Amino acid sequence: MPQARVHVIPTSAPDDVSGLETLIAQGVLDPSRLVAILGKTEGNGCVNDFTRAFSVMALERFLGPHAQGVALVMSGGTEGGLSPHLITFESLDDTGESDAPALAMASHVTRDLDAHEIGTQAQIECVADGVRTAISKAQIRGPDDVAFVQIKCPLLTAERIACALYPTATTDTLKSMGLSRGAAALGVSLALGELDETTANIVQIGVDLNVFSARASTSAGVELMGHEILVLGMSAAWSGPLIIDHAVMSDAIDTAPVASAMSRLGVGTTATLVALLAKAEAAPSGAIRGRRHTMLDDSDISSTRHARGFVGGALAGLTGRTDLFVSGGAEHQGPAGGGPVAVIATKRH
Amino acid sequence: MPQARVHVIPTSAPDDVSGLETLIAQGVLDPSRLVAILGKTEGNGCVNDFTRAFSVMALERFLGPHAQGVALVMSGGTEGGLSPHLITFESLDDTGESDAPALAMASHVTRDLDAHEIGTQAQIECVADGVRTAISKAQIRGPDDVAFVQIKCPLLTAERIACALYPTATTDTLKSMGLSRGAAALGVSLALGELDETTANIVQIGVDLNVFSARASTSAGVELMGHEILVLGMSAAWSGPLIIDHAVMSDAIDTAPVASAMSRLGVGTTATLVALLAKAEAAPSGAIRGRRHTMLDDSDISSTRHARGFVGGALAGLTGRTDLFVSGGAEHQGPAGGGPVAVIATKRH
Amino acid sequence: MPQARVHVIPTSAPDDVSGLETLIAQGVLDPSRLVAILGKTEGNGCVNDFTRAFSVMALERFLGPHAQGVALVMSGGTEGGLSPHLITFESLDDTGESDAPALAMASHVTRDLDAHEIGTQAQIECVADGVRTAISKAQIRGPDDVAFVQIKCPLLTAERIACALYPTATTDTLKSMGLSRGAAALGVSLALGELDETTANIVQIGVDLNVFSARASTSAGVELMGHEILVLGMSAAWSGPLIIDHAVMSDAIDTAPVASAMSRLGVGTTATLVALLAKAEAAPSGAIRGRRHTMLDDSDISSTRHARGFVGGALAGLTGRTDLFVSGGAEHQGPAGGGPVAVIATKRH
Amino acid sequence: MPQARVHVIPTSAPDDVSGLETLIAQGVLDPSRLVAILGKTEGNGCVNDFTRAFSVMALERFLGPHAQGVALVMSGGTEGGLSPHLITFESLDDTGESDAPALAMASHVTRDLDAHEIGTQAQIECVADGVRTAISKAQIRGPDDVAFVQIKCPLLTAERIACALYPTATTDTLKSMGLSRGAAALGVSLALGELDETTANIVQIGVDLNVFSARASTSAGVELMGHEILVLGMSAAWSGPLIIDHAVMSDAIDTAPVASAMSRLGVGTTATLVALLAKAEAAPSGAIRGRRHTMLDDSDISSTRHARGFVGGALAGLTGRTDLFVSGGAEHQGPAGGGPVAVIATKRH
């Protein structure tokens, strides 16, 4: 039975690979077994955030041939006290242990989209197929055992719009990021059975925000035209001490469901928190529990930066940790103003 | 016996006084009994934040002669999901009730400082005297019954530095804000017996950050050269359902002491949360619980903005409320990277 | 014959009226003759810029009944070295001088729009009527003698959208500012004969950016639902030493047409520069003279802030002055990426 | 006789090397002859600007062994309409031409400083020695023929301060950037004879801003502890069509001296502008020609960003070009609020 291994590694800069290096030297990280590396980098997380690409370049340079096939998903923005870090996901060979079920994972890369497919039903279908494939690869029995699907999806650039064969969903490049994140999330939703085919065919992407996935986390990047999908879940075919559960925050300060998920995993008693992944966004309504927020009216700080720092604070207050993977832009990922959360823990011996 | 009344009033803009107007029309707020109005406005909370002065101008225009003698303390910055609001503090006449002890309050205005006194031991002494006077006015028995001291203190401008009779503590106007906040906080500390005279005479303001008040909250403003002091505490000479307690967060995510204070007040069982006041700052060490934060290195967003949003998230996650008075710049107010918190609740009938 | 008087008054803060006060005390400014006050305030010039409203509140408080009927048009944003200031426009009685033609001016307030009219052909018509009225009031012979039309126009808020009787042009409040500015500019264009009725009926507001006025400068504000129009031009019915001319910059660094306008007025020889008003925007193409700019991709600084600072620098380098009225958001005001400029000078004796 | 070759290459992102690649493919750029590459990247130009290091990593990856010994000096910040670009400096072998004097250049790397030397007289001496060496390498006859000295200098980090053998000049890392830039500029001043040894020994770095170099441009970077020096000047020992001259702007809008330098080179008549390098800063006095600026009070945008955009606008308005190397932080580089400028042109045949 395969076994997952996860490390959360602090970084001192976007190009800092010294933590990886140390773990490899210590023999506790095997670069040839890497499935994915997620990273929080300290840029603004918006259009001109080059810390993501810088981090990827540094990782590729460091990993060399081992980088091949590894999903490298960087999320910009460590606002407030959030701490830049990498999360490595390794799939180890059968270790003789049989502590099943346990955390299972697999990554999958979809076909490239044509520019006019971004942010449309075609993207929903493409992602749904990809997620189904990854679930199968991960030997996860079915959608119900999936805890989290992290996706890197494409966006439109001025050049891609100009070269498109058919009209694109938008001509606004920033808006295309939201549409692509939203369509990718709906693709997850379809694959997980949260959404039926009929609704998938008629849902208005970016508009019908009450249609969402409780387990999707998507981010758009300029460097690909397809999708890099990482599926995380529980499987009886995997062994080891790692376990995962998920929650949905209904708004930016709704920490109770996360506390429940941690409790279900035994965090604080039989288990220890390893990593937490969450999506954050400014409530489009302009209010949280009936009280006005100013995130959407602030022309000095992007609302995504506000949201990450604030939700990051709520989750750090809950967990006592600041190296949390809180990512912005939660279109169709959890309810409007809220977002999905995954909690990974390790059982104590 | 006097009785305190406190309203938390949402605002739709810095100059929005409609909430006040409504409460007065409803007969539940008497402008002639106002002792202080604290407000969170939606500016950047830094040097060029004009929302504070705009709010004060609107309040003075609205209150007319009633504004006389009312401490108007505006704090800029509602980062993350924090919600702009006003907190009114009224002192009502003897109402026949005898639900003592209860929340007690008084305000006091100190003499104007000379420019060269700002950020020095002279300011510490001046504030300590003022706080003692306010405690006495509020009929609070002694320092131990004081829960929170909110102070508006002066700052240096280029013009004040140029006209000063003696050299000023700094020639950097932004730095003068921190020194003034720090000296005012140490003045509170001295008045409350947290600090002895000998230490007060030798403490290096802005440097010896391990010397702090657990109950001071100070903010600097250009519009005064003295101090507006608001003392809040418990007193057997006051009646009514309002009660107050305080806590110290040791770092930005240390919500446990606040939960304890709420618990001591019976919030959630015998009492209901009315208002929460807190100070926030980016840990000068550059780390929270050993994990690097990036607030001090971000040249796009001031660290005070990061800190308010993040600590605001932690406290909103705890309390389920976003209309919290979270204020930045916590020099000598709580330990470095942490800050003092006051919780006001009302007993349920 | 009436005579125009113009003062450019430095301000030390958005609410600074001391310069006005001094000029009134000196007898060189008569508040009862004010037609308009334009002001550059030091906010971000975007959605949450409260320095404009703060300045208006301070001016209204200071002017008292004299504020009645005076167009108060504040433009936020003094990026780079631009200097905050007020420009007062007075219309004095016949002074016996007959130095005609001279600077002529008049202001006019249009009817309030319904929310669904903002950013539509209805707004174009409404503004065109208002501009024609103002031209007539100003005794300017015809459109060709108009040099500049400054307009404050309305915008949509969430509340206005919700209460609208018919669907609004957009549900995005920020976008409504651009549509309103654009429609108002096209209204000027129609009144000045730059645009014919047929085109006005079919032009796509915010899209057909090659249709523009060479003399319109419009800014959107939340505080009105109609338009405050200030028309400036030359008229044989006015006397005095003030003269005005205009230019169109074809891009952000196209200073030559401005130099020509100054030269035509005799600035530097027979005349002295009094005031300069200009619009600035980031070229929507993403390039200036074929070289990429990054203003539209910067998620930390709004492109309007970049554009004001940069164009401000170009015009300050040309004129040797930094108290220039450079305003952002130039939809249908000059060609895409460029903008109209007005130059006011005074003849030397 | 050696001959200089200079290319100005637009970039589409910090890691874009496609322009270099094209020129190499076309045979007009020989990577083995590179002396230096200067680059403007689109970050914030402040502490957390990773676009500089990203660009260097991309250039080193692309150039491979050719990167050895090439000074790679990246300057962050393309505010306003400034355009990201690289400037390559090659030194070609004797080409048979004898169009002397011509642009001459050489680079030199100094010894590493100890942390406590940064921002002190020791750094002044170290840089002065290095500049003298580079002048000699470049076969420039003497200081008077030097037009510009571009230096990358070190800065203090929290770690370097902690490990320092002796007390450092400051414990504020941001401030150390200014002190290092200032000391490096004074080192240039000493080497060029603008400053005498006696004054160099007593000048207060960062304080005595009236002591400055008219030809130094320095920027601090975390990646080195020594200095990378690039000296540019005219020399009879070099041939070819490239020529250089310099100017000093006395304030942010003082374009006349630059126009004179361009005129002396014959730009527009016998020569064509190739590249312009300039330093910009917000006047520490808070005013430009007696009019207040707001750059130093803006807590949302760093003053260096304001200054680059504004001075960039002034110089772009003058030259008609936006791919200008305008760099921020001009301590002891030109007078306070102004800065040195170098103009490189090529003679027309």
The confidence score (pLDDT) of residue B222 equals 83
Q: Identify which of A47, A158, A286 has the shortest CB distance to residue C158.
A: A286
The H or E element spanning position B255 is none
Q: Identify which of A48, A53, A300 has the shortest CB distance to residue D15.
A: A53
Q: Chains near C, with 3+ CB pairs < 8 A?
A: A, B, D
Whether B327 sits among the annotated catalytic residues: the reply is: no
**Contact yes or no for D304/D281 (Cβ under 8 A):** yes
Beta-carbon separation of C61 and B58 below 8 A: no
Q: Considering Cα of B23, then B28, then B33, then B37, what sign does the dihedral take?
A: negative
Rounded-to-integer distance, Cα B109 and Cα B21, Å: 27
Q: How confident is the model at residue B223 (pLDDT cuts 50, 70, 90)?
A: confident
Beta-carbon separation of D14 and A48 below 8 A: no
Least confident piece of the model among B175-179, B268-272, C26-30: B175-179
Rounded-to-integer distance, Cα A199 and Cα A187, Å: 12
Q: What is the DSSP letter of B307?
A: H
| D278: pLDDT strictly greater than 70 | yes
Residue in chain B closest to D157 (alpha carbons) equals B297
Residues of D in contact with A58 (CB under 8 A): 57
The confidence score (pLDDT) of residue A158 equals 82
The three-state (H, E, C) secondary structure of D165-229, written as one string: CCCCCCCCHHHHHHHHHHHHHHHHHHHCCCCCHHHHHHCCCCCCCCCCECCEEEEECCCCCCCEE
Q: Is the peptide bond before A84 cis (omega within 30 degrees of 0)?
A: no
Residue in chain C closest to D322 (alpha carbons) equals C291
The confidence score (pLDDT) of residue D97 equals 67
Q: Considering Cα of B120, then B122, then B128, then B134, what sign does the dihedral take?
A: negative
E strand segments, D64-114 = 71-76, 85-92, 102-109
Chain D interface mutation, best of A12, A40, A50, highest count of D Cβ atoms under 10 Å: A50
Residues 202-241 of D with CB under 8 A from C: none
Beta-carbon separation of B310 and A300 below 8 A: no
Residue C94 CB neighbours (<10 A): 10
Rounded-to-integer distance, Cα D228 and Cα D90, Å: 16
Question: Which entry of D75, D107, D152, D327 is annotated as an active-site residue?
Answer: D152
Q: Which residue has the tokens 């990061």?
A: B306
Q: How confident is the model at residue B174 (pLDDT cuts 50, 70, 90)?
A: confident
Q: Considering Cα of D54, then D56, then D62, then D65, what sign does the dihedral take?
A: negative
pLDDT digits (tens, 9 = 90+) for D96-146: 767 889 999 999 999 999 999 999 999 999 999 999 999 999 999 999 999
Least confident piece of the model among B115-124, C18-27, C52-61, C87-96: C87-96
Residues of A in contact with D57 (CB under 8 A): 15, 54, 57-58, 61
The answer, for C80 touching chain D at a CB cutoff of 8 Å, is yes
CA atoms within 13 A on the CB side of D117: 16
How many angstroms separate the Cα of A198 from the Cα of each of A190, A193, B200, D84, D96?
Answer: 10, 12, 73, 48, 77
Chain B interface mutation, best of D174, D209, D297, D299, highest count of B Cβ atoms under 10 Å: D299
Q: How confident is the model at residue B97 (pLDDT cuts 50, 70, 90)?
A: low
The answer, for C294 touching chain A at a CB cutoff of 8 Å, is yes
How many angstroms separate the Cα of D263 from the Cα of each of B152, C313, D256?
Answer: 57, 21, 10
Rounded-to-integer distance, Cα D4 and Cα D95, Å: 10
Q: What is the DSSP letter of A115?
A: G
Rounded-to-integer distance, Cα C72 and Cα C67, Å: 8
Q: What is the DSSP letter of D333?
A: B
Q: Identify which of B253, B305, B313 has the shortest CB distance to residue A311.
A: B313
**Contact yes or no for B191/B127 (Cβ under 8 A):** yes
How many interface pairs between B and D have CB atoms less than 8 angstroms apart?
32
Chain C closest CA to B13's CA: distance in Å? Answer: 9
Chain A closest CA to D300's CA: distance in Å? Answer: 7
Q: Identify which of A50, A58, A300 has the shortest CB distance to residue D51.
A: A50
Whether D219 sits among the annotated catalytic residues: the reply is: yes
Rounded-to-integer distance, Cα C70 and Cα C37, Å: 7
Q: Identify which of A47, A294, A300 has the shortest CB distance to residue C44.
A: A300
Q: How confident is the model at residue D173 (pLDDT cuts 50, 70, 90)?
A: confident
| A329: pLDDT strictly greater than 80 | yes
The confidence score (pLDDT) of residue C116 equals 97
Q: How large is the average pLDDT for residues B18-26?
A: 98
Backbone angles phi, psi at A328, to 5 degrees: -100, 170
Strand order, beta sheet including B71-76? B3-10, B85-92, B34-41, B71-76
How many interface pairs between B and C have CB atoms less than 8 angstroms apart?
39
Question: β-strands D287-288, D291-292: how paired?
Answer: antiparallel
The confidence score (pLDDT) of residue B310 equals 98
Residues of D in contact with A48 (CB under 8 A): 42
How many interface pairs between C and D have CB atoms less than 8 angstroms apart?
161
Tell me the residue length of chain C: 349
Residues of C in contact with D314 (CB under 8 A): 313-314, 316-317
Q: What is the DSSP letter of A199?
A: H
Q: Identify which of D158, D294, D302 has the shortest CB distance to residue B299.
A: D302
The confidence score (pLDDT) of residue C39 equals 97
Residues of A in contact with D42 (CB under 8 A): 48, 50
**Contact yes or no for D123/D113 (Cβ under 8 A):** yes
Judged on CB neighbours under 10 Å (0-12, 13-18, 19+), B236 is middle
Chain D closest CA to C279's CA: distance in Å? Answer: 14
Q: How large is the average pLDDT for residues D19-43?
A: 97
| C287: pLDDT strictly greater than 70 | yes
pTM of the model: 0.96
**B196 by DSSP, 3-state: which?**
coil
Q: How large is the average pLDDT for residues C205-224?
A: 93
Q: How confident is the model at residue B243 (pLDDT cuts 50, 70, 90)?
A: very high
Question: Which entry of B55, B107, B189, B219 is annotated as an active-site residue?
Answer: B219
Backbone angles phi, psi at D264, to 5 degrees: -60, -35
Beta-carbon separation of B50 and C300 below 8 A: no
Q: Identify which of D48, D299, D302 has the shortest CB distance to residue B46.
A: D299
Q: Is the peptide bond before D10 cis (omega within 30 degrees of 0)?
A: no
Residue C281's contacts (CB-CB under 8 Å, 6 or more residues apart) are C303, C304, C307, C328, C329, C330, C331, C336, C337, C339
Beta-carbon separation of D321 and C295 below 8 A: no
Residue B244's contacts (CB-CB under 8 Å, 6 or more residues apart) are B103, B147, B148, B232, B233, B234, B265, B342, B343, B344, B345
Q: How confident is the model at residue B236 (pLDDT cuts 50, 70, 90)?
A: very high
Chain A closest CA to C229's CA: distance in Å? Answer: 27
| B306: pLDDT strictly greater than 90 | yes
Q: Identify which of B294, B297, B302 has the shortest CB distance to residue D299.
A: B302
| A97: pLDDT strictly greater than 70 | no
Cα Rg of chain B, angstroms: 19
Judged on CB neighbours under 10 Å (0-12, 13-18, 19+), C60 is middle
Residues of A in contact with C302 (CB under 8 A): 299-300
**C249 by DSSP, 3-state: which?**
strand
pLDDT digits (tens, 9 = 90+) for A45-93: 988 999 999 999 999 999 999 999 999 999 999 999 999 999 999 999 9
Chain D closest CA to B231's CA: distance in Å? Answer: 31
Residues 14-53 of D with CB under 8 A from B: 44, 46-49
Residue in chain B closest to C56 (alpha carbons) equals B54
Beta-carbon separation of D315 and C310 below 8 A: no
pLDDT digits (tens, 9 = 90+) for D221-274: 888 899 999 999 999 999 999 999 999 999 999 999 999 999 999 999 999 999
| B228: pLDDT strictly greater than 80 | yes
Question: β-strands B3-10, B102-109: how paired?
Answer: unpaired
